[in-house]
Amino acid sequence: MRRLLAVVALLFAVAPAPSARDTVSGSAGDITFAQIGDEVLPPAFTETLLELPDDAAQAAKSGRRLLLYFGQQGCPYCKELMTTSFTQKDITDKVAKHFVAIGLDLFGDREVTWFDGKVRREKELAKFLKVQFTPTVLLLDENGGTIARINGYYPPHRFSAALDYSIKRLEGRLDFAAHMQTVPQTGASATLNEQPFFMKPPHDLRRKAGGKPLAVLFESRHCAPCDELHKEGFKREATRKAMARFDIARFSIAGRDPLTTPQGKATTAEAWARELKIAYTPSVVFFDDTGKEVFRLEAYLRPFHFASSFEYVGSGAFRKEPEFQRFLQNKAEHMKQAGEKLELWK
């Protein structure tokens, strides 16, 4: 009976019924949104019994695939994605036509059946799938393989292009990072911004035990979020303090700069970015003092979260707390208890 109900739910996925969770009126006309805490989900999302292999099989019958969305209560980036991309008709039509979109709570307790047959709670599945950011969108193939991972907030034109990677079945021809590099950035500087704390060439990024960890920043020209990072993020005192623990190298994802990776491999910036599958700019990849990658940022982040990522790695907290979002929650709670002002979006 449970599977039968799941089939019925998917048959009506284009125009899903309101969520069993609370609904609120949204800002896009007369649309009513389902809700995860304070985070709103538009009608493009479908309520299923969360037996994902069955959901994928039913979706495939109409040529669609699964889109898994991880959000959390009070997430400003989730709200931004919902109120920019999911209020645009071309995107919502694209999602309805080509995907069965399922919303999951990063810290939720609903039971979800994964493609290995195991039943996990939402928060356990998020950990299993190594979800570190909200929002995170996973585009899955018919067998549950991850075709593309969209970390954090993407502006509408880039989010739409990311969906096209699955819709056009491009995964057999080029990787997701290469596809996203073809998407033009808009309204930004034609040159890369410089900072005095960037490492100077020659770029030998090999580490020494007991030395500084390494943060590698990948940027691109005509990148508005890159410009914003330099104009706002790098100027914050908290960011400067957190970054002081690191050696910081910056490269263009299309750069021909020669470098030696932390593992001792001679290559170029462009080739290394391709090897690391950098799909978003700016991205930051963190390496410990042994040259091992320990964390990366591949999402749009405002200064609070950007500085916190350097604290997360520089303090060694990543060793005890593998979930970045848990680290952020604990930090925010300590700030509140100390009477400090918490500004997530400023």
Q: What is the model's pLDDT at position 29?
A: 35
Question: Is residue 24 one of the residues assigned to a domain?
Answer: yes
CB atoms within 10 A of CB 175: 15
Q: Are residues 148 and 214 in the same domain?
A: no
Residue 239 pLDDT class (50, 70, 90 cuts): very high
Q: What is the model's pLDDT at position 113?
A: 97
pLDDT average, residue stretch 295-309: 89
Identify the weakest region by mean pLDDT among 25-29, 30-34, 252-256: 25-29
pLDDT average, residue stretch 251-274: 95
Contact 245, 253 (CB under 8 A): no
Contact 323, 107 (CB under 8 A): no
For CA atoms 300, 305, 306, 309, the dihedral sign is negative
Question: Is residue 189 one of the residues assigned to a domain?
Answer: no
Question: Is residue 305 one of the residues assigned to a domain?
Answer: yes
Q: Are residues 169 and 225 in the same domain?
A: no
Q: Are residues 240 and 282 in the same domain?
A: yes
Q: Are residues 209 and 175 in the same domain?
A: no
Question: Is residue 345 one of the residues assigned to a domain?
Answer: no
Q: Are residues 123 and 258 in the same domain?
A: no
CATH number (domain holding residue 325): 3.40.30.10
Q: Is the per-residue pLDDT at 307 higher than 70?
A: yes
pLDDT > 90: what percent of the chain?
62
User: What is the layout of strands, in order, in the sheet containing 283-287?
Assistant: 247-252, 214-219, 283-287, 293-297
Q: What is the model's pLDDT at position 275?
A: 94
Question: Is residue 342 one of the residues assigned to a domain?
Answer: no
What is the chain's mean pLDDT, rounded? 86
CB atoms within 10 A of CB 96: 19
Q: Are residues 267 and 174 in the same domain?
A: no
Residue 31 pLDDT class (50, 70, 90 cuts): very low
- Characterise 80 by phi-psi region: left (phi > 0), alpha (psi -120 to 50), beta (else): alpha
Q: Global pTM?
A: 0.72
Q: What is the model's pLDDT at position 35?
A: 59
Q: Are residues 101 and 214 in the same domain?
A: no
Q: Are residues 252 and 167 in the same domain?
A: no
Q: What is the model's pLDDT at position 42?
A: 83
Q: Are residues 270 and 126 in the same domain?
A: no
CA dihedral of 213, 284, 36, 75, whole degrees rounded to 10: 90
Q: What is the model's pLDDT at position 91?
A: 94
Strands (E), the chain: 23-25, 32-36, 39-41, 65-71, 99-105, 111-113, 119-121, 136-140, 146-151, 203-204, 214-219, 247-252, 258-260, 266-268, 283-287, 293-297
Q: What is the model's pLDDT at position 25?
A: 30
Q: Is the per-residue pLDDT at 10 higher than 70?
A: no
Q: Are residues 143 and 253 in the same domain?
A: no
Q: pLDDT digits over 84-125, tens only?
A: 899 899 999 999 999 999 999 999 999 999 999 999 999 999
More confident residue, 140 or 182: 140
Q: Are residues 58 and 27 in the same domain?
A: yes
Question: Is residue 253 one of the residues assigned to a domain?
Answer: yes
Question: Is residue 147 one of the residues assigned to a domain?
Answer: yes
Pick the last residue of a domain from 151, 181, 211: 181
For CA atoms 284, 288, 290, 293, the dihedral sign is negative
Pick the last residue of a domain from 181, 213, 229: 181
Per the structure, the count of domains in the chain is 2
pLDDT average, residue stretch 67-92: 90
Residue 335 pLDDT class (50, 70, 90 cuts): confident
Sequence letter at residue 210: G
Q: What is the model's pLDDT at position 33?
A: 43
Q: Are residues 171 and 208 in the same domain?
A: no
Separation CA 186–CA 182 (nearest Å): 13
Domain of 315, in residue numbers: 203-337
Question: Is residue 95 one of the residues assigned to a domain?
Answer: yes
